[in-house]
């Protein structure tokens, strides 16, 4: 049984979303289409990875007042030294860093913030007028509280981008590749505009916030899987490289299942081949 129903089909909202006043419109990143689909008024976007960053930019460019509750997430430039960043990640092998290697350095990180057409950074958003907040920590009677960590989140993303750029530089130098020199990326060289003092608490009504958009990730709906010992206590896959602990059960398409490439379209051929090989071996053994 190859389970290919995805682990990105259920939006994951923090439990305290249920405490928001009923008149506040709440949607998930997957339901966002454009600013005109939202109630009029200011918008709070929660989460500053790819969905949150891109939605915040779309909204601010449509003239909305936007507050962004940031998280600790990396960032990638869209283009670097003449090529799309994904091309460098594939050529240099950075996309093939294994899940095991990543886990040696800590929990598997979320996908970094990047723009669809150009680099998006917390600082470029703030320069356009997005109000940067720290991590959303709670809701109480129409007031939302935030950590004082927006500046740290800007720094973390800067460090992540600088690390990837230096790894690509090293790859280019090692292989004598004729690539143009790095050019300053407008979204990366601009300074962050941070509220001073940091905003630790917001009254939704007083700030005119009528909509909250949850860009806080997704999980899988595996409720239909009734095979013992293949899901954890949260109902998510228990697996090693996509292989469930029960022989003959496979999970396809999971992010970081084998390497950083996993969970992207680039991984499908390679990972499917591993499952097919194992299925063939099992069939050969049975026959």
Ligand X SMILES: Cc1cc2nc3c(=O)[nH]c(=O)nc-3n(C[C@H](O)[C@H](O)[C@H](O)COP(=O)(O)OP(=O)(O)OC[C@H]3O[C@@H](n4cnc5c(N)ncnc54)[C@H](O)[C@@H]3O)c2cc1C
Binding stretches for ligand X (CB under 6 A): 4-6, 8-9, 51, 224, 252-253, 263-266
Q: CA 118, CA 188: separation in Å to the nearest integer?
A: 11
Task: Work out how close the CB of 13 gets to ligand X at its nearest, in angstroms, rounded to a whole number.
Answer: 16
Residue 100 corresponds to which tokens in the numbers above?
Answer: 């095991």
Q: 53 or 253: whose CB is closer to ligand X?
A: 253
Half-sphere exposure of 149 (CA within 13 A, CB side): 15
Instruction: Identify the sign of the CA torsion 206, 208, 213, 215.
Output: negative
Report in angstroms the alpha-carbon separations of 227 from 3, 46, 115, 237: 11, 35, 40, 11
Closest contact distance (angstroms) between CB of 22 and ligand X is 28
Cβ distance to ligand X smaller for residue 16 or 218: 218
Min dist CB 99 to ligand X, Å, is 15
Q: Give min distance, CB of 152 to ligand X, in A.
A: 25
Q: Long-range contacts for 176-184 (Cβ within 8 Å, ≥24 apart)?
A: 179/81, 179/82, 179/83, 180/81, 180/82, 181/81, 182/80, 182/81
Buried b (16+ CB within 10 A) or exposed e, 146-175: bbebbeebbebbbebbeebbeebbebbeee
CB 279 to ligand X: min, Å: 17
**Nearest to ligand X of 20, 268 (CB atom):** 268
Nearer to ligand X, 89 or 199 (CB): 89
How open is the CA angle 258-113-252, to the nearest 5 degrees? Answer: 25
Angle at 118 between CA 115 and CA 122, to 5 degrees: 55
* Nearer residue to ligand X within complex by CB, 116 or 189: 116
Residue 179 to residue 182: CA distance in whole angstroms: 9
Q: Which is closer to ligand X, CB of 4 or CB of 108?
A: 4
We find the least distance from the C-beta atom of residue 43 to ligand X, in angstroms, to be 19
Which residue lies nearer to ligand X by CB, 4 or 12? 4
| Contact between 125 and 49 (Cβ < 8 Å) | no
Closest-by-Cβ residue to ligand X is 253
**Vertex 73 angle, CA 112 and 47, to 5°:** 100
Q: CB 220 → ligand X: shortest distance, Å?
A: 8
Provide, rounded to whole angstroms, the least separation between the CB of residue 137 and ligand X. 25
Give the Cα separation of 66 and 85 in Å (integer). Answer: 28
Using the minimum distance from each CB to ligand X, give the nearer residue, 9 or 166.
Answer: 9
């Amino acid at each position: 049984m190859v389970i290919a129903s995805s682990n990105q089909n259920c939006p994951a909202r923090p439990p305290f979303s249920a405490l928001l006043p009923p008149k506040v419109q709440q949607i998930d990143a997957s339901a966002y289409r454009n600013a005109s689909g939202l109630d009029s008024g200011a918008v709070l976007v929660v989460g500053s990875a790819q969905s949150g960053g891109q939605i915040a930019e779309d909204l601010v460019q449509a003239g909305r007042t936007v507050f962004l509750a940031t998280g600790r997430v990396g960032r990638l430039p869209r283009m670097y030294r003449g090529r799309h960043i994904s091309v460098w990640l594939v050529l240099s092998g950075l996309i093939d860093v294994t899940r095991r290697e990543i886990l040696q350095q800590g929990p598997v990180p979320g996908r970094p913030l990047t723009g669809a057409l150009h680099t998006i950074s917390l600082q470029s958003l703030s320069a356009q007028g997005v109000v940067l907040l720290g991590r959303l920590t709670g809701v109480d009677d129409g007031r939302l509280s935030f950590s004082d960590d927006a500046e740290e989140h800007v720094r973390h993303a800067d460090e992540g981008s600088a690390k990837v750029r230096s790894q690509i530089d090293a790859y280019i130098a090692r292989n004598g590749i004729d690539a143009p020199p790095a050019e300053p990326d407008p979204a990366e060289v601009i300074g962050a505009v941070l509220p001073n003092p940091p905003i630790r608490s917001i009254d939704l009504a007083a700030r005119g916030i009528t909509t909250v958009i949850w860009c806080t990730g997704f999980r899988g709906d595996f409720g239909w899987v009734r095979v013992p010992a293949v899901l954890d206590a949260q109902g998510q896959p228990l697996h090693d490289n996509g292989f469930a602990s029960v022989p003959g059960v496979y999970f396809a398409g999971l992010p970081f299942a084998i390497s950083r490439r996993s969970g992207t379209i680039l991984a499908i051929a390679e990972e499917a081949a591993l499952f097919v090989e194992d299925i063939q071996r099992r069939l050969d053994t049975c026959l």
